[in-house]
Structure 1
């Protein structure tokens, strides 16, 4: 867009006679210069105007630029808005986009070419410019974006009885062409964008990984953002997006990297890399030799993921609707029973364990240290113990290296309340660590591993025992924050 070849050259040839010429002539008169070129009225242009005062497109008055931009197609107009701040303002002109809004049939009335010009011109004097700058541009993009969402609402109506989430979330994300990018920002404000290299869909989450040949210096980075990206459908009849179609960003989550050691928790390592977890759900791998980034992996839970990946903006996240507590004076133990837990342990490709546990409850005596304790698997009841599939490990691969970090995986937790509404949903990297104490279950003689995860809303504690070349899940306890329960049910535990 910086050069005036092709698009702008052809545009100038199609401009109204005398528009640019009148500007050059008036500028020469103001400077008291003699004329060499003639304007349409017969007078001449200044002889050395082009040499002493070279013109560029960006130096033209706003009225001239609006006229030039009116000949551009939608994709070129959106690209022009990315050239500079001034171009961005002019390319968002309401009159331009009101014409496009009418020409594309985005209103119920069928417009003819001449009628569109007259309609846009009249609106420009009455109501178009009364709207905030960029209003009609947003209306066009909103309408085109929504045109690609036909049928998605129908996909999300069916609920999976095993997870409590929409059954076809993965299909809906794929049908919209949603993908996720990483945006790294340094101290100078420069952005470094990384496209995804791997996407794996699971029962309740999607795992996205990003690798790059060259990452920016970690010490210069201030923030890491994950954006959901969707194509703006400029042509509703085309199902496959074209390369020149614009993409819309929606901020999913953001991490502060100014003090990485303070916000990250080392969870596992192998000979080459060190894995650290950033809440929520981000896995960052660093080379042991030096401070460079190896890869980044994110666990994105399906809960409102479609909305968070499409309805936010490039600078702000989609805000979930506030929860209204449903008071129940009849039930004296409201908020203490009827919970459903679905949990899955997996890596980026295979699942190690997946299960659902219904009718979990907590007695008042079990409320301690600000948490409700709900036992899903008790080590005392061997009939509840569950076999694990294989050894737990997280595989990784870059352009030149690959490996597998043992006793590290990804965990998805979905907790539903007694009305089967999502209560606590989280996807996160976790690690299994050898137990410091001897096994409390005497049916197993092998190694004992513990898994422990905690955040502001809840905790998960899990114990695995090794026996007969296989791990067994012998203890699984869910802890829910009393503050979360009180806010959710309007209680006072």
Structure 2
């Protein structure tokens, strides 16, 4: 066995030497070839023991430079590359599309993904008729479909959900909130959860699973308070993803599909503000709805909270990709006479433990404000009308982390929903809010310290005024005004106001 192996290696070496002698790039000449041939003929006349010449090793880059002329993959025909790609599974084919532009075009071929889609369907317990499958993956039908059609279908199948069922369930609306009545039920049935991914300055990613959720009638508050947290100043970005987590995952389950909901920069130069503090933590606010609690005295994270509105939440948690969020279609009403429409305002103040305030105001009619009449406002509570004032319980934000508990005063979560006359969502906002002490501006019958809550984004503004009544240990909401840009109303109703 050893002699045969030696003979094989010697023959392999002689073949390589012969190739080097015959190649012009090796620098050999006809004279040297004839001289070597003569020496070999003379050696045959006198048998001598086998002499092994020392093997001269050369760097790998020299062999690559001498033995190849350019990239072999670039010189291969597309048909051969497609044949190679046909042996890959869906995950490998998806990843290889990011190598270069040519691989991206070839790896997105409908011919490849249609075969993978057919094989994925065959694994299901329910199988369509054979004639239907043959028609679906026939060459004529495959070529008629737009680019990426079969890839999209396969990724939906691999994600493990059927959107037809939950879309039907979401058609039933809650008349009180204007949101789908079965949103929480569908979220729990599909095992939808949310993960955050923290990326540090070196590009390293750390994923954290949710530890606690608090469902309201129109929003959900998600908390993360367990894990080994990095220091805040070492982080670069925070990404919030929606995923489907089966209750009992099997060892052979496919990777979970991630849908990006929000991406936030965490640098000090980013959009963050001081939100509140107690004896143990200080709280920072990012991007209108993301709270990060830091231990006092250092920059180590204690907890993270996010408030998510129910409007298109299931779509945003499932139908996006890891790098791109789901973009809902613009559903505009077709009625230019929007100035006479009655709006509905549903507002909830809450924290991750309890509900603080829940009110519905309808109908509300718009009023022009500002000299240029560029804004319209909805007055839900007028400070001059005492009968509209609403008592409010203690406003605070409880938290817990690493076995410790605390409570940040005068801040909470706000979920706001404005519906048009047809009960279609006109403006949906879900964020954290805090109370600011202000001088006594409004002349009221109440004697107490006044506080104001302001919220503003690109879609509108909210202003709330509270009065603290020391005798009864309660706040009173004495003013609630919502303001919108006039062009937002025009876009929604596709007309002029």
Give me the TM-score of the superposition, normalised by structure 1. Answer: 0.73
Q: Where do residues 53-452 of structure 1 align in structure 2 (5 Å cutoff)?
A: 78=91, 100-106=116-122, 108-110=128-130, 138-145=152-159, 147-149=161-163, 151-230=165-244, 240-243=248-251, 244-258=253-267, 260-324=268-332, 326-328=334-336, 331=337, 334-335=338-339, 337-364=341-368, 370-388=374-392, 390-437=393-440, 440-442=443-445, 444-452=446-454
More helix per residue: 1 or 2? 2
Deviation at 1:348, TM superposition (A): 0.7
> Which blocks of at least 5 consecutive residues in structure 2 are unaligned?
1-7, 19-54, 61-72
Cα 1:368/1:165, change in 2 over 3 Å: farther
Query: C-alpha deviations, 1:104-139, integer Å up to 9, x for none?
Result: 44573449xxx99xx99x97xx99899999875543
Deviation at 1:79, TM superposition (A): 8.3
Task: Specify the SS of the correspondent of 2:443.
Answer: coil
Is the 2:261–2:316 Cα contact (8 Å) retained in structure 1? yes
Cα 1:189/1:151, change in 2 over 3 Å: same
Give me the TM-score of the superposition, normalised by structure 2. Answer: 0.72
Alignment partners' CA distance in 1, 2:14 and 2:490? 74
> Which blocks of at least 5 consecutive residues in structure 1 are unaligned?
1-23, 35-47, 54-60, 234-238
Cα 1:368/1:471, change in 2 over 3 Å: farther
Query: C-alpha deviations, 1:419-461, integer Å up to 9, x for none?
Result: 221111000000112222255211x223322211111211111
Deviation at 1:369, TM superposition (A): 7.1
Alignment partners' CA distance in 2, 1:261 and 1:348? 28
Q: Where do residues 31-70 of structure 1 align in structure 2 (5 Å cutoff)?
A: 32=16
Residue in structure 1 matched with residue 492 of structure 2 by the alignment: 488
Deviation at 1:310, TM superposition (A): 0.8
Is the 2:120–2:154 Cα contact (8 Å) retained in structure 1? no
Deviation at 1:403, TM superposition (A): 0.7
Alignment partners' CA distance in 2, 1:127 and 1:477? 56
Is the 2:365–2:378 Cα contact (8 Å) retained in structure 1? yes
Alignment partners' CA distance in 2, 1:372 and 1:464? 23
Task: Specify the SS of the correspondent of 1:308.
Answer: helix
Cα 1:305/1:447, change in 2 over 3 Å: same
Greater Rg over alpha carbons, structure: 2
Number of aligned residues = 420
Is the 2:369–2:376 Cα contact (8 Å) retained in structure 1? no
Cα 1:149/1:380, change in 2 over 3 Å: same
